[in-house]
Chains A and B, each alone.
Chain A
Amino acid sequence: MLMPPFELHRPSTVEEACAMAASLIESGQEFDWIAGGTDLIPNYKWHINTKPHVISLARIEGVSTISMNEIGCMARLHDIAEGGNAHPLISEAASKVASSLIRRHATLGGNLCLDTRCFWYNQAEEWRSSIDWCHKCDCGTGSDCRVIPNQNTLCVATYQGDLAPNLMVLNATVHLIGPKGARSVLLHDFYQLDGMTRNILEPGEFMLKITLPDDVADWTGSYRKLRVRESWDFPEAGAAAAWKKGDRGTLRVATTALESIPRRHDEEVASANGDVKAICDAIYKSTKPVNNTALPPRYRRNMIKVLVKRACEE
């Protein structure tokens, strides 16, 4: 499939990238960032929310660090999974993303900023024209949401990244940079409802790296991913848990692929007083998946109990 026309910009430094973004914003031109391209390129081929400019981060040096406490935005998932330098939980999660070939392209930043997904949305232009488009890519038609009709405010597309919940339970901080300067937030504050807003990135901002707390090496945990095939598939539901070795009281749990954002479940964990079954039930009650991925929402919601339970197993 042919890409729709756009101009590709390839800055070689972070500063240059920010300057390019600033100048495009100033001239009123829309643009997208591209990192590994595994998310953006198929969407562009399908003419989904394409922009006239795309800025590639591929040539920027020094943004693919992988260490216990820091991972750069352009670090490839393959290297995170196989390199032996990242936290074991992060390597495990990275190794479960898509396929070995896709992981060679996919980056940390791209995975964290993954566009939300929906089977009414991730389709070719011709296909979407046959349903008269949808809210998330309405092509100027003001279309309704196809998942939950007759509501025209929110998009319920699902966030299906694997790394986010794992970084959340390790208390990762994301470092953003843009024309207005740099800022840092905790990853679990990075995501923002709904399927279109997705996260707090301002125009022109991109994710530079994530950092993990100094004591992260003392933490352990696991990630459970529900999928039909052990290759290619996005998570239909995913649960990550982590705790400080020898101290189950520090347990943190986060989930993904159930809603438009991944979430850390501090309240649910706190209310359960360390009882895993109670945590599972509380998380089950607090999540409401919708019917827009391969498996039905009722099942995905029920499975979160199993996944959380298994993720919490020592």
Chain B
Amino acid sequence: MSGGYKQQPGGGGNETRKDGKRVAGKQSFSPPGSGGSKPEMSPRDLDFIPETVGGKEKQPAGSHIHDRARTGTTVGKRTTLVDANAKVTGQAWYGDDVRLPNAIIGRIVRSPHHYAKVKSVDTSKAEKLPGVLAVATGDDAPNSFGVLPVTKDEHAMAVEKVRHVGDLVACVAAIDEATAREAVSLIEVEYEVLDSIHDMKKGLEDVDEPIHWRGKYHVGTTNVQKRVFQEFGDRSMVENPNASYHGKWKFMGVNHGFTEPHAVVAHWDSNGRLQLYTPQQVPHYAHRALATVLDVPMHQVNVIRTFVGGGFGGKSDPFPHEMCAAILSRKSGRPVRITFDREEVFWVNRGRHPSHIEVQMYADEEARISGFDIDALIDGGGFASFGHVTSYYNGVLATAPYELGSFHYTGARVWTNKPASGAMRGHGAVNTRCAVEVGLDDMSEQLQVDPIDLRLANLLPPHSRTISGFRITSNGMRQALQRVREGSDWDNKFRKLPLGKGIGIGCGFFISGSGLPIHWDPNKFPHATVHIQIDMDGGVTVHTGAADIGQGSTTAVAQVVAEVLALPIEMIHVRSHESDTSPVDLGSYSSRVTFMNANAAIRAALEIKEKILNAAWDALGYHPDTLVLNDRRIYYKHDPAIGMSYLQALHKAQEDKGALIASGAYRSPPMGGVHKGAAAGLAPAYSFSAYVAEVDVDIETGLIKCTDVWAAHDCGKALNPMAVEGQIIGSCHMGLGQVLSEQMVYGRTGHLQNPNLLEYKIPSVHEMPNVTPIIIESCDPEGPFGAKEAGEGPLLPILPAVVNAVYDAIGIRVNDLPLTPDKVWAAIAKKMKLEGIDDPADLPVPRLDFSELQSKLVARAAEHETRDKRRQKSEDTDAYVNGVLFGFDPNVPLEDQVEGWMSSDKPTPEQLAELGLAGTAWLKEEQRNMGGGN
């Protein structure tokens, strides 16, 4: 590489800078025994040590079990990502940057049909083309795979059928890209075109040729992949409501839009092991799927995660092109690289499901939320992907942060002949959350109360259970609402702004790691394992399988290890790229990495710390409890002059043993109910967020400009506030795209019309509002140093906040996302017609006159605030379950107190008659009940 970046030690020679500073290239660390440049001891940074262990860090949410492990080193400090230098110098290696000697180029033959039987594939012409080194088809890899063990419905290349335009049919590898592309065009495929399905509603109907066949579990002969029915609470409460909301929502599908297209390099090494380089969020599942598809044991595959140029859920499935590269490489004996064009990224998709969501919500005379009825029909596209889970998340993740009288959810995911939907940031929760939060806004309007006060008076407290049985631990929802209200000057703006300007509120609730490790059951493997090794040089090598996708998980791991061992973060070296050296980690999805992986890392680091302190005990004679671990020095608490250096203690600890090693693991505690689907949505902790958004609406064109956002997110404890703020602002950007401009447009013929970054409209810098990130620290009792997730939850509130702000601005609710200007304009035109006005400047703007309920809500919220504070600090440890607000005793099962309190996972025959759109999936019998299906 020419003239590039040279920061290798020694690279600077004897140069000095103009300002007299020593040049880079000087090693930052003195070799053992060298004396160093600051021999005196610097004090610990007391500002970053909790009050409970003698520091100055305020702990409004109480103490934490990890307080004793804090050393004031990095936790809570703005920390540069440990891989930032690689990224700013161009040295970070992404998928397409892996260049192996003799590598050849792979390309994929894709279906031009929405749905067809593959009758024959003739590869002979391609094989004869000079330069073509391998060709493969579905016959080369008959084993199926899928990210979830219950729905393995994918193949490397089409076996029998193609299911959407762009589905894989065959692949070729050739000496260069031109030859590979040419060879693709020479492969002749004979198809028998089948009737395709594009409208998800049609997926509920019986058809001759369902897109997949699930045997005895198949629902009728429909394209229903998964159906869910859940009901909790007392349904009679929703009768005679004081206010109610009924909204039919339509959400277009959105794509992750990461900047790095998928790319993979496969190489069978000289020992016949597969080395597969791929930008994966979840290398372990890819590892499993590769072994299955290629028919080799897992230990013969090494999955090497490259840097990941953005994931957001879009790089978390095992992908067929990864299999293709491995197959082509095995056939040709050469490393094979496959890099996607942008439209291929859209064809592999896995973006957010297009959805039809119907929400009915009810409030009683005291403005308590007496019921949520949610019906979500989601469009899964051609494959299952994560859809089994998404089907649940669309409902169950709406069961908090509010206390509910009853909850009723019907969901269905159908296959259609589109690129598969899957997991995307805010997985499954985003669309329903938007509908529900807008519903609350609407009900507060009917009740003539402030929507923030309505929320504040209906929140579940910390340490409580939701109506579906989720265990809430820390809960910063209330502070989040209060802080955004304050920051945005809400009380002086809401319902008071002129026509065209509006302000709106939205909240979010999300899992911090999914409680059930999907591939594990029934084995009791941990969710995350971290190995730490320290050799005599004193540097700490951390082995983890956690996949850094830009969110900073590697930095988080380095930080917690540095914190426990009181070492500069530069002494922590995280090795996370190879499955050969990394202990298994479930990957970067469900916002699990910080919580689970950092917890595992803390455990491993504590074990190391114990070994070092024991050595110091040996040498100094003071019990470890009385020793303080400071920056590379260990000393006696009551007399800092008595002590030894970290290296001395380390070398002592290494006597007869050599390098110190430790392993730490995390497994979530047993949680949750026993009903069908009880595991979906279970998490060891949950994050909470509240946003206020301000918008300008051009009443003549319908163009919406979001100008300001106050974004409060409860992440438990910000290990790295800079990264948390980055996640909040970034989530805002992505959510704003979904609410204002982004959509996967399927045209008249069912083709995806905008598979490129010009027509798929991700907001530019000009569309970004001024975001004020507000970090709420509720100090989760089980989180690493109190931390919870910050990567996905912050996306949720921006959608409803904007929709509500638009209503505040123009008095119109549009239930069809994204709110592109044409839709808003059409809604304005409709309203003008309805109101009989000619000039949009005469549109009525909503105004608010408080009813007497308002003061009741304020009083109730104030009481709850006291309650919550006591519970948060464990001054009040009484049980609290959803229902207490309605007067029930938390210590007696609700079923025993309330007649009609139920928990059910199947509709009763009477209910079948009144089901929503997705609910109609329950009208069909499964094949096994019809005596069919094999």
Which residues of A approach B to under 8 Å, CB–CB?
1-2, 5, 99, 119, 123-124, 126-127, 129-131, 146, 226, 228-233, 294-296, 298-299, 302-303, 306
Instruction: Say which one of B283-291, B528-536, B685-693, B821-829 lies at the interface with A.
Output: B821-829
Interface SS, A side: loop
Enumerate 10 A-B pairs (CB-CB under 8 Å) in ascending A order.
Answer: A1-B341, A119-B754, A123-B343, A123-B755, A130-B112, A130-B166, A229-B763, A294-B761, A295-B821, A299-B825
Instruction: Say which one of B43-51, B580-588, B764-772, B787-795 lies at the interface with A.
Output: B764-772
**Cα-based distance from A295 to B763 in the complex (angstroms):** 16
Chain B interface: which size bin? 35 or more
**Cα-based distance from A227 to B112 in the complex (angstroms):** 31
Chain A residues lying within 8 Å of B825, measured Cβ to Cβ, are 299, 302-303
Which residues of B approach A to under 8 Å, CB–CB?
110-113, 165-166, 177-178, 181, 341, 343, 700-701, 703, 740-741, 747, 749, 751, 753-755, 758-759, 761, 763-767, 820-822, 825-826
The answer to whether A229 and B761 have CB atoms under 8 Å apart is yes
Chain B residues lying within 8 Å of A233, measured Cβ to Cβ, are 758, 761
Complex: chain A residue closest to B823, CB-CB:
A299
**Cα-based distance from A298 to B821 in the complex (angstroms):** 12
The answer to whether B113 and A130 have CB atoms under 8 Å apart is yes
Complex: chain A residue closest to B741, CB-CB:
A228
CB distance from B347 to the nearest CB of A (A): 9
The answer to whether A229 and B764 have CB atoms under 8 Å apart is yes
**Cα-based distance from A49 to B468 in the complex (angstroms):** 59
CB distance from B200 to the nearest CB of A (A): 21
**Cα-based distance from A99 to B758 in the complex (angstroms):** 11
Chain B residues lying within 8 Å of A231, measured Cβ to Cβ, are 764-766
Complex: chain B residue closest to A298, CB-CB:
B822
Complex: chain A residue closest to B343, CB-CB:
A124
Chain B residues lying within 8 Å of A295, measured Cβ to Cβ, are 820-822
**Cα-based distance from A129 to B166 in the complex (angstroms):** 11
Known: A226-B701, A229-B741, A229-B763. A127 touches B343 (CB 8 A): yes
**Cα-based distance from A119 to B821 in the complex (angstroms):** 19
Q: Pick the residue among B751, B765, B820 that contacts A127 (CB under 8 A).
A: B751
**Cα-based distance from A154 to B505 in the complex (angstroms):** 50
Known: A2-B177, A294-B761. A127 touches B755 (CB 8 A): yes
Complex: chain B residue closest to A310, CB-CB:
B700
CB distance from B389 to the nearest CB of A (A): 31
The residue among A129, A294, A298, A303 with the most chain B CB atoms within 10 A of its own CB is A294
Q: Pick the residue among A129, A146, A299 that contacts B822 (CB under 8 A).
A: A299
The answer to whether B741 and A306 have CB atoms under 8 Å apart is no
Chain B residues lying within 8 Å of A230, measured Cβ to Cβ, are 764, 766-767
CB distance from B833 to the nearest CB of A (A): 14
CB distance from A278 to the nearest CB of B (A): 16
**Cα-based distance from A307 to B177 in the complex (angstroms):** 46
Q: Pick the residue among A2, A232, A296 that contacts B181 (CB under 8 A).
A: A2
The answer to whether B110 and A126 have CB atoms under 8 Å apart is yes
Q: Pick the residue among B177, B343, B759 that contacts A294 (CB under 8 A).
A: B759
5 further interface pairs, Cβ-Cβ under 8 Å (given A124-B343, A229-B764)? A131-B749, A231-B764, A231-B766, A232-B758, A295-B820
The answer to whether A299 and B821 have CB atoms under 8 Å apart is yes
The answer to whether A131 and B751 have CB atoms under 8 Å apart is yes
**Cα-based distance from A298 to B764 in the complex (angstroms):** 26
**Cα-based distance from A226 to B820 in the complex (angstroms):** 12
Complex: chain B residue closest to A2, CB-CB:
B177
Q: Pick the residue among B113, B765, B821 that contacts A228 (CB under 8 A).
A: B821
**Cα-based distance from A131 to B181 in the complex (angstroms):** 20
The answer to whether B343 and A303 have CB atoms under 8 Å apart is no
Chain B residues lying within 8 Å of A226, measured Cβ to Cβ, are 701, 821
The residue among A146, A229, A230, A296 with the most chain B CB atoms within 10 A of its own CB is A229
**Cα-based distance from A119 to B753 in the complex (angstroms):** 6
Chain B residues lying within 8 Å of A229, measured Cβ to Cβ, are 741, 761, 763-764, 766-767
Chain A residues lying within 8 Å of B165, measured Cβ to Cβ, are 127, 130
**Cα-based distance from A232 to B757 in the complex (angstroms):** 10
The residue among A1, A130, A146, A302 with the most chain B CB atoms within 10 A of its own CB is A130
CB distance from B339 to the nearest CB of A (A): 10
Q: Pick the residue among A127, A232, A299 that contacts B764 (CB under 8 A).
A: A232
Chain A residues lying within 8 Å of B703, measured Cβ to Cβ, are 228
Chain A residues lying within 8 Å of B343, measured Cβ to Cβ, are 123-124, 126-127
**Cα-based distance from A299 to B821 in the complex (angstroms):** 9
